């Protein structure tokens, strides 16, 4: 018998590149054409993710340190690392506000 998933922990303090995050188990997702659509029953909202956001969302399936996430994105995309970090942190903060991710530890 498996244990139920841990409830989301409140995001304590600011998210930094040292924060370890993972997506919460509750959003439903489906790939539609070139985007992923998320639906949060809990929040009563749905979200459309374009290609880069979709890539980030898929990398959040397992716990990952935000700095490692940014490094992986920098290795794949031809974008200055500082811009990747700023944009990724902004997106991650939005996911946290919508309770679509949780911090670990």
Instruction: Work out the average pLDDT over 39-57.
Output: 89
Does residue 10 lie in a domain region?
Answer: no
| More confident position, 44 or 73 | 73
Does residue 16 lie in a domain region?
Answer: no
Burial 89-100 (b: 16+ CB within 10 A, else e): beebeebbebbb
pLDDT tens-digit readout, 56-86: 999 999 999 999 999 999 999 989 999 999 9
Q: Which domain holds residue 45?
A: 25-103
Tell me how long the chain is.
105
The count of domains in the chain is: 1
Does residue 48 lie in a domain region?
Answer: yes
User: What CATH number corresponds to the domain at position 85?
Assistant: 1.10.10.1150
Full-prediction pTM beyond 0.95?
no
Q: Which residue has the tokens 């990724």?
A: 88
């Amino acid at each position: 018998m498996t244990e139920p998933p841990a409830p989301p922990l409140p995001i304590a303090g600011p998210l930094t590149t040292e924060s370890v995050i993972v997506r919460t188990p509750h959003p439903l997702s489906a790939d539609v054409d070139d985007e992923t659509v998320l639906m949060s029953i809990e929040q009563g909202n749905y979200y459309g993710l374009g290609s880069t956001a979709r890539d980030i969302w898929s990398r959040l399936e397992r716990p990952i340190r935000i700095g490692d996430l940014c490094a992986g994105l920098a290795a794949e995309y031809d974008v200055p690392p500082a811009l990747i970090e700023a944009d990724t942190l902004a997106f991650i903060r939005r996911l946290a506000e919508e309770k679509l991710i949780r911090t670990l530890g």
